[in-house]
Amino acid sequence: MSEIVEHFVSGKPWTGSSERLSDVYDPNRGTVQRRVRLGMPSDVDEVVEVSAAAQREWAAWNPQRRARVLMRFLTLANEQMDELAALLSSEHGKTLPDARGDIQRGLEVIEFATGAPHLLKGEYSTDAGPGVDVYSMRQPLGVVAAITPFNFPAMIPLWKIGPALACGNAVVLKPSERDPSVPVRIAEMFVEAGLPPGVLNVVHGDKEVVDALLVHPDIAAVGFVGSTPIAEHVYSTATAHGKRAQCFGGAKNHLLVLPDADMDQAADALTGAAWGSAGQRCMAISVAVPVGEQTADLLVAKLAERARNLTVGRSDSETADLGPLVGADADERVRRAIQAGVDEGAELVVDGREVGAPEGGDGGWFMGGSLFDRVTTVMSLYRDEIFGPVLSVVRAANYDEALRVANGHRYGNGVAIFTRDGDAARDFASKVETGMVGVNVPIPVPIAYHTFGGWKASGFGDLNQHGPDSFKFYTRTKTVTSRWPSGIKDGASFVIPTMS
């Protein structure tokens, strides 16, 4: 418990001026395993100053040279995958295989970002007028901030860091104080890979640090992932202070099951998508919408069997299906949500609260998968994001009703449909009002070279994460109109230039 996770600034640990510390827990036992130093606004001022100075040199590197740093980072990260996964798992609670997946999905965006020499190319038009050429260039914004959540302590920081660095920006990363060690280790590894010190800095903190980043005049853009209320606050504050912002919030992801679907395939998909990582994913499926009573009865029976057979274990397990929740507050929130569902009249088919702690998990925040049937859209169980291993079944009489259920929710992050009917799948993909759609894919997270982002209350901002959007977000376009002297004597003109 004596270990303190410090800020990481100018390529080394940094204490800053604050003496505030926050506990970092072991979710397997509910005990404090280390502490993290929380910054203050004056620390943010120093870190941004360091970042701005380092960014000028970094931006002068050509894109291919910057990409080589990302390539060397990929080598280091793959070599140290097991150590990173163990560290991530110990603070978050997700199992070791899931922790490796967290890291791998982040590394895939770093791989995409190594294409910066191509992705940063501008456009060129010759002879736009007599002797006139027009071309554009993409240039970095300067210093950007990334505010990332606890549930993906490797993936989401890497989603922000990779494109931002590849574009020539400096990054101030404010990770979750719940599991801060992996983000710091990532920053260390970037320096080991050749990133100039000060280009990527990590400052820990709570609302004080976040608000200081949002109003700082030298922060050009802010990327955020977290709950919707905070996403709205970050977006409105950042944009009010002239910053570019992409902010992603909560979710209530639906999975429609049509009568012609392979029921075992759908049940297996829901089992992993709803209860994996103890439901602590913004892309988790928390609502199943079977079409027709016969479909619903069959699906619920299969889900109940799978829920009762889930293996709940310590986060350092290679074989457990899910580990503990991240903290006592998360455990209490999920238990309250389950009880509210019971009180509102939903049918609790499997109660995950009855699962005991595994061996070596005394005091930990363990919970099995809960399954509710006959949930209605007016219940809090359906309306609210629970962010835990709870799956609600909302029965629909037909496809049109199922589509209305999915479209009627205020969140629009991800959605899926399981069917053998190509016409139905195509209609669904076209009409459903969400940012990401899966067809017989339960967690429709796009691959790294496509874009990730939700609609409605799940996303704020015009540009999404990773894919081509990320390079647009982290650069600004400059357009140059050029003509070299050629002996032409036009004389003064008082008319706006046109293509004629």
Active site residues: 282
Structure tokens at 113: 């970002």
Side-chain-side CA neighbours of residue 320 (13 Å): 28
In sequence order, which residues have a C-beta less than 8 Å from that of residue 455 and are 6 or more positions away?
Answer: 412, 413, 433, 434, 435
- Can you tell me which residue has the tokens 């709570």? 206
Residue (of 220, 154, 163, 221) closest to 187 by Cα position:
154
Residue (of 87, 150, 97, 174) closest to 325 by Cα position:
150
Instruction: Measure the CA–CA gap between 213 and 219, rounded to whole angstroms.
Output: 7
β-sheet bridge partners, residue 221: 144, 244
Cβ 198 vs Cβ 50: under 8 Å: yes
Side-chain-side CA neighbours of residue 379 (13 Å): 23
